[in-house]
Chain A
Amino acid sequence: DAGVIQSPRHEVTEMGQEVTLRCKPISGHNSLFWYRQTMMRGLELLIYFNNNVPIDDSGMPEDRFSAKMPNASFSTLKIQPSEPRDSAVYFCASSFLSHMFTEAFFGQGTRLTVV
């Protein structure tokens, strides 16, 4: 398996534009997580899905952020409208949730710059 795949790797956009980040989890995994990383706040959990259903979105900063998981092999994180303070590295991770040990695998991240 190629691991968790995120696209694009880098995104530069102007303030006010819509941004869509994409994630393909590892095949067979049933949980998917979106994280954001900045120097000031470190790694923050934004939202996670289990079996394509959003379980906890309490980390989503505000209504400008939305995430979807239409099927087990694809998820998007959308920011509309984007603002400079959204500049960060966004990571997607997936795992197979069971009653036993769960290891999360992370993608390489998308570096977003909003100017």
Chain B
Amino acid sequence: DAKTTQPPSMDCAEGRAANLPCNHSTISGNEYVYWYRQIHSQGPQYIIHGLKNNETNEMASLIITEDRKSSTLILPHATLRDTAVYYCIVRLSGNTGKLIFGQGTTLQVKP
């Protein structure tokens, strides 16, 4: 599975959009980009995933560059409850199912 690089921490004002970047320059053509988050003291939670098209669900949007070497997770209107560690993971869909977590980005949403 391809390696990902994320900034260790970011701040965002409540109500504003939070844009979390992820670099995955060694991604292969059939690898997906997954995002999970971990709110303090809880287990990680799935947010969204995509292959090459932009994706949106009720939680977030995922923008993947045309060359697929990077992506951005967008929380359109961040709330204090979005304060968490966000993990970007790249892997083959359906391939064993295992997730390898990096260090992630700690997002602090401030009032």
Contacts and interface: CB of A to CB of B under 8 A. Distances in A.
Contact of A31 (B44, B49, B97, B103): B97
A103 interface: yes
Is the contact region of chain B dominated by helix, strand, or loop, or is it mixed?
A: loop
Given A42-B101, A42-B103, A106-B43, A99 B94 contact: yes
Interface string B27-50: 000001000001001111110010
A45 B98 CA distance: 8
B5 interface: no
A91 B43 contact: yes
Residue among B32, B46, B98, B100 with the most chain A CB within 10 A? B98
A33 B98 contact: yes
18 contacts: A33-B98, A44-B101, A48-B97, A48-B98, A50-B96, A50-B97, A56-B96, A91-B44, A93-B99, A97-B96, A100-B93, A102-B93, A103-B46, A104-B97, A105-B46, A108-B42, A108-B43, A109-B41
